[in-house]
Every structure is written in structure tokens, then in C-alpha cells.
Structure 1
């Protein structure tokens, strides 16, 4: 294959405003504004590239100027863009966030084009380019919850995804419930935070360990639950639950931290690290990212 891993989901422009001053409703403060390639699938793909892997994207990117620039930037980072769906009538998606010293203040995700494209983005996994119902793709697929609930439910049941190693992230707490159809997929690993674990299980876990147990009790095969600067937990229906601490760091950025954790964990497992070491590695790399260091 021309790639090591597929990343399926949102690819867009991140517009992030950061300030060191505490913010409240109607605040108007000095800070820095950046515009970078983003989206869950893109963030994961970029992290894989930094680890020396070659990811391929499955997504929708408009044929506008912003889309052309995004395609070029991704290609320059070594990301395979051969399978991207480029609709003529949809604009390239965007995400806008404001971060203060305590973390995310507010954000808006304009990912309507990805949702509108629907299953058109999955054609390479159905027409034989990457797989089909007769010869399912059997590699790792990093899948994000920015897809519609109907499409995620289809993926959970499609023969073309039956043998895939699905690594699933909800994109945000507000989209966590979209992942419920995938909990029953035998090859799915869910990457969620403690709040999202509670949403998926209609519970209120106080720790990542409690969140992992709740997800396993609800029928999940394997889960990874993070909890900010606290312990992260991995739960497997046959192995039980293990944990890893988070290094103490100064928070300098938030957006993309969960995606970095997920990519770091998958990369560590591809290197052959056992579950405890892979979880610990992901915690340390995510902490470096949040502290502002390069990973």
C-alpha cells in the first residue's frame, strides 16, 4: 500500500485565538490568532506524519481556494490525498476557537460540507481502490465523530468495514452519542474523555477508570478514557482496566490534544509496545503537546 493508516473524517482550517488573560462573556483581550490545517482526521494524520508514518485521508474538501491550499499543505507534509472527495458545490470546512489560560473558552465547528458529502467520501473503501464488501479493508482506520450518526451507523454494519481495526474519536462531547452504533463493532477502540464516557453510558464517572468500566459494561470491546491531567485508563473486555498517569505540565494549548494522544497511542502500538507502555507513551506525548513543545 502507499500508506500506513487511513484517517477518516474532518479536514478543515483551524482558526485559533489564544490569550494569557482570563476571559468571560463579552471579554475583548489581546492575544494571538493562528490559521492552521485542522480537524480531527487531519490532526491525527499530521501527528502520524511526525512519527514517521504515512497516513492517507478520507474526507471532503471543497474545490475553492481554501480547499486547494489545504490539499497542498497536506501533501507537503507527506499525507496521501489521492482518496479525498472534492465536491464542486460545497465549501471547505472551518473551525474557530478561543483559548484562555484555563483552556478552551468557546468554539464553533463549521463542518457542514463533510456532513453533506455523506457516504461519497467512502467510495474508495467500496469500489476496490482500498477495499470493498468482498475484500474488506483490514488495516487501521482512525475514524472521527464528525460524520453523521447515520453514516457512523452504516460504517458499523457495512461488510467493507467488517475486518478493519477501527480507532474512533467523538470529536467533541456534543457528538459523543453518535458513536453508540460503533460500540458493538468487534474491531472498534473508542478514544473518549471522562465526560464523553459518561454521555455514552448515561452515567457520571468521577475518574477515567470508572468511565472505562461503564463503557465495557455497556458493550464496548475496547476503550481508552482520558481525564485531562489525571490518570488515563484503557479497558478491554477480556483484559480488564489499566491506567497511566499524566505528567505535570503548564497548559499552553488545548485544541488538538486529544487527537495527538490518539495518534501517539496508535503509533506506539504499531511499534509493538504492550498496552501499559503504549498508554504511558500517549500520556507523555500529549502532555508535551499541551505544554507547547513539539512532538
Structure 2
């Protein structure tokens, strides 16, 4: 019998190919560093972090029935993540993400998540066929959702009966996909996790601080908005008020996945019963630990 997961992580599940160097990089630079392949994607990054807090996450995504897909699924299972609800396609390859990071942060990245977009609503079948829920008896637990799904599918999720009772936590995946979260802003459904740039894109504005950005998102209809701003003040906003906190000061050695670590730690803290200040503090500490991780030469 399948163990009921503590949370569903819906979105990108892929291989990250990350090149890192301790040197500052400019366009066209050719420098020494390290290149590694890691299990990645927003949904998977969140799931991995959740396992470290003792939770049992399940993935809803598309992974190809190719060699890379088999290896990715095996890696996920070894990490304690449930993979039996994945959509495994014979025709669609396993998605990939490639990034270059220097001492000055993310230099460039390309996300090849075309298979997830092509799979569309097929990744949500377990929420409709009885495996995890049905329209009459929807899933009522936690859901971490990322913006790598298509605009049409995200619009559907924002209003779907199968998600009506879920504790929905949503991240855009990248600034380029921030506007895909507009359906949740209009519907006033779920908690939005965005950085300052993403908040500006959602509001078609520019913000100088997270507090103003989070307050504006609430004014535009968001049920709850948590806005980060790198090493600057972070804000958790609801209609009841704004809560701010300052991240720990650390030496930044990596960038990719920091927002996912923040979101996962925040979800885990609240599931454990932490109040808003304690949950925000735990999330900021987790993100700081992630970005300050040792980088081997």
C-alpha cells in the first residue's frame, strides 16, 4: 500500500548541469571551475529539502522513459521522495537546466522544460483518478507548485475544484515566468513565494524593498505573499499585516536553488506548528546555509 505523502511537489523535475567558479565572470569569459550534474528543478529542489526536515514529499511531473529519466527517478527514490505519481512518457525526453555561476552570482541559465509543458494536464491525473484525490474528494493537504507549468494549466489549477481545499504554496520558478502566477493573484488563492524582481513583474511596477512589494501584492488580491530580496529585508504579508526579517549575513558561494530551500524550510516550519516569525527565521537560515555552502575547487 502506498504511504500517503505529506506534501505534493508539482512542477519541474530534471537534471541540473551547473558550472561554478570562484572568479567574477563577464559575458564571453573562459575561466576554471567545477561542472556537476545534480537532480534539480524547482519542484524537486523543494522535495529534496523537505526530506531533510523529515517530510515525505511526492512528485507530480513529467520524466522521460529514457536513461536520464531512469537515473533521475532512482536518485529521487534514494533520497526518500515518492515517484510513483510521475508521468513517464515514452516520447518526451527528461528535461534539463544549465547554469553558470561566478563570484558575482548567476551569469546565465537556460531551462529546457519543454517536456513538462508538453505533458500538460497529464501530470495532474493522480489528483483526479483516485490515486491522490478526485473532484468529489479533492486533496486537502499541502501542495508546492512551481511556474514551469503552462499558463493555461496554472489558470486551471487556480480555479479547479481538485485544488480548492489544498494549502497551496506557489513559486514562479524564475523571473521570466513570474507573470504565470497572475491567476493565483486574481483568485486570491495560495501563498506566493517571490523575490523582489518577480513581485515587480507581477505588479507591473518596480520596488525598492520587499515590504512595499509584499504589501502591493496583497492589495492586488494575493491571499499571502512572501517576498525575498537577497541579503536585504524579507517580508511575509497577509491582509492582517506585514512581518519583516533580515537574513543572516553570509559569504555567497552558490545561487541556484536558494529560493527553493527558503520555500521548503518555510513550509516545513509551518507544518511543524511554528508561528509566522519563527517560520520566516527558519526559512532565511536555510537559504543562508544553502548559498554559503562550500565550493570545491
- What TM bracket, shorter-length normalisation? over 0.9
TM-score normalised per structure 2: 0.97
State the aligned residue count.
293
Distance 1:208 1:263 in 2: 19
Residue ranges of structure 1 left out of the alignment (5+ in a row): none
Distance 1:293 1:29 in 2: 19
Following TM superposition, the consecutive aligned residue runs of length 4 or more in structure 1 with deviations greater than 2 angstroms are 184-187
2:125 matched residue in structure 1: 123
Q: What is the deviation of 1:21?
A: 1.2
Please report the RMSD computed on the Cα atoms of aligned residues, expressed in angstroms.
Answer: 1.1
Deviations 1:169-202 (A, max 9, x none): 0000000000000124444000000110010011
Does the aligned pair in 1 maintain the 2:158–2:189 contact within 8 Å?
Answer: no
Distance 1:293 1:152 in 2: 36
Distance 2:244 2:294 in 1: 24
Does the aligned pair in 2 maintain the 1:184–1:221 contact within 8 Å?
Answer: no
Q: What is the deviation of 1:22?
A: 1.2
Distance 1:78 1:172 in 2: 26
Q: What is the deviation of 1:96?
A: 0.2
2:150 matched residue in structure 1: 148
Selected match of 2:112 from 97, 102, 110: 110
Does the aligned pair in 1 maintain the 2:253–2:294 contact within 8 Å?
Answer: no
Is the deviation greater in 152-161 or in 254-263?
Answer: 152-161
Selected match of 1:210 from 206, 209, 212: 212
2:241 matched residue in structure 1: 240
Does the aligned pair in 1 maintain the 2:21–2:102 contact within 8 Å?
Answer: yes
Q: What is the deviation of 1:236?
A: 0.4
Selected match of 2:50 from 24, 48, 58: 48
Distance 1:285 1:124 in 2: 31
Selected match of 1:100 from 99, 102, 107: 102
Residue ranges of structure 2 left out of the alignment (5+ in a row): none
Distance 1:212 1:28 in 2: 39
2:181 matched residue in structure 1: 179
Q: What is the deviation of 1:124?
A: 0.3
SS in 2 for 1:119: helix
2:250 matched residue in structure 1: 249
2:275 matched residue in structure 1: 274
